[in-house]
Chains A and B, each alone.
Chain A
Amino acid sequence: MAQDIIKLENVTKSFGKLRVIHDITVGFQPGQVTCIIGPSGSGKSTLLRMLNLLEYPTNGQLIYQGKPINIRGANTQSLRAEVSMVFQSFNLFPHMDVLQNCVMGPTTVLKRPRAEVTNLAREYLKKVGMMDFVHASPLSLSGGQKQRVAIARALTMKPNILLFDEPTSALDPELVGEVLSVMKALANEGMTMIVVTHEMAFAKEVADRVIFIDQGQIIEDGTPEQIFDQPQHKRTIEFLKRFR
């Protein structure tokens, strides 16, 4: 087995008195697609957000490429530059056009030359099928289009890991497919992806690994076949019943 590219070690997270993550240790392999499933409020989004420090662990450590991340140091920013996030509500910048949305990160954070980044952004926008919209305002796009731009924006950073926080939950049902097919294409290219999702069919088809979380703990962790076809734990069985 390859070394974990990113790992949470004995991590707890509390919001005030509410403890949402209980002493979780979990690592992720490069090139793998992991889907994190679980009921709402189970802590799965919090777990994901700790992987690029949008939430700071209350206790425990985040280890990236074998090195612990010191949250007091400036490497929070360099970690985030290499671990990109795609959000449920897209969070595109409304005061910039589609292309500028993608170009902003690499030019300001990585200080890469604008011309080079622009070409790269166009390439990724083409990949997600948004080439015709480079100069459109995000406000004029449908949800599915916004999410595809958000994916292109994350890709233009050339990240090592792509995090998805319920990327299709805010979409109209007929727009879910276009986003999932982009994600599927990325998975086939070997992108390391960690996806919090309620799309069980997607998890079953695309994921190399599925993690079921409930009440801030990892209940089951295995291949899609293990989790979906032979779930061991009572809570997993009950949760999956609702998706049958």
Chain B
Amino acid sequence: MPQGFFEGVWYLITKHWFVFATGVFTTLFIAISGTLIGIILSLPLVALRVLPKQPMDTKVYRFFRNIGNGFSKVYIQVFRGTPMIVQATVIYYGVIYFAGYWPAFIAGITVVGLNTTAYIAEILRGSIQAIEKGQSEAGLSLGMTYTQMMLRIVFPQAIKNSLPAFGNEIIVNIKDTAVLSVIAVSDLFYSSRFLTTTYYRQFEVYFIVSILYLIMTLSFSALLKWIERKLHVVNRVSFPTSQTTLEVVDVSDGTGHH
């Protein structure tokens, strides 16, 4: 291996590009699938959190609502209140202890998914609470049941308002998968590490790794901005053919972006 920083970097990239490429792929795969799992699981979790309280509720309903509510609350507190590196070890070795061996890669996706569930549930809860009360009243006053009203009126708006935050979660997860190296998941960080033990050129290796993380996060953030803009365009006003003057409304309002 040649002496000198740039020569060393160049050597590592050309000779071991495959190590970096598989690392990048693994990191992206875990981050994206983990976030998707988080989005899907957060929906029932947040639904438990926003079950209605009404004067005519039966005792049985009240009992189950409190259990659901409590579970949701505790889940969110536990996963947001402990470091993901600790969650990774507890879940990975916990499953091994009770059920036997499972692949670290699957464990990695599980940990990221369960962790993201808690964060996204909290984001969604905020978005749901931010929807004006008039929206749910309008739904109910049409004769909708609480469930119909939530599914058709409140959730669609809350989810749309949360999309930028979902995007942020993907970016956070791209970075945070690095902690999965503690259970030997071969993400970018972990798989590059063996190069340092081969060449003893830690700085060059980690320099490349950090640049690769930066490229991933920056390109994702650009991609998400583009998607957001696209989504707003879909929602943008279709101007009707009429003599009436329309107010120009900034439809990007309410998402806190732009």
Which residues does A use to contact B, with CB under 8 Å?
52, 54, 56, 71-72, 77-82, 84-85, 87, 89-95, 97, 104-105, 108-110, 132-137, 139-142, 145, 153, 157
Tell me if B223 is interfacial: C-beta within 8 Å of chain A: no
Tell me if B81 is interfacial: C-beta within 8 Å of chain A: no
Q: CA separation between A90 and B134, bound complex, in Å?
A: 8
Minimum CB distance partner of B135 in chain A: A91
On whether the beta carbons of B152 and A136 are closer than 8 Å, the reply is no
* A140 partner, pick from B138, B148, B241, B247, beta carbons under 8 A: B247
* A80 partner, pick from B140, B157, B238, B241, beta carbons under 8 A: B140
On whether the beta carbons of A80 and B246 are closer than 8 Å, the reply is no
On whether the beta carbons of A94 and B144 are closer than 8 Å, the reply is no
On whether the beta carbons of B237 and A139 are closer than 8 Å, the reply is yes
B138 cross-chain contacts in A, Cβ below 8 A:
85, 87, 91-93
* B238 partner, pick from A84, A92, A104, A135, beta carbons under 8 A: A135
Would A141 and B246 be within 8 Å (CB), given that A54-B137, A56-B55, A77-B144 are in contact?
A: yes
* A85 → chain B closest CB, angstroms: 4
A140 cross-chain contacts in B, Cβ below 8 A:
237, 239, 246-247, 249
Tell me which residues from 241 to 257 in chain B have a Cβ below 8 Å from any Cβ of chain A: 241-242, 244, 246-247, 249, 251
Q: CA separation between A136 and B141, bound complex, in Å?
A: 23
* A95 partner, pick from B132, B143, B160, beta carbons under 8 A: B160
* A133 partner, pick from B58, B144, B157, B242, beta carbons under 8 A: B242
Tell me if B222 is interfacial: C-beta within 8 Å of chain A: no
On whether the beta carbons of B56 and A71 are closer than 8 Å, the reply is yes
Tell me if B240 is interfacial: C-beta within 8 Å of chain A: yes
B54 cross-chain contacts in A, Cβ below 8 A:
56
B141 cross-chain contacts in A, Cβ below 8 A:
52, 54, 80, 84-85, 87
Would A137 and B237 be within 8 Å (CB), given that A56-B55, A72-B56, A81-B142 are in contact?
A: yes
Would A137 and B55 be within 8 Å (CB), given that A85-B141, A91-B135 are in contact?
A: no
Tell me if B94 is interfacial: C-beta within 8 Å of chain A: no
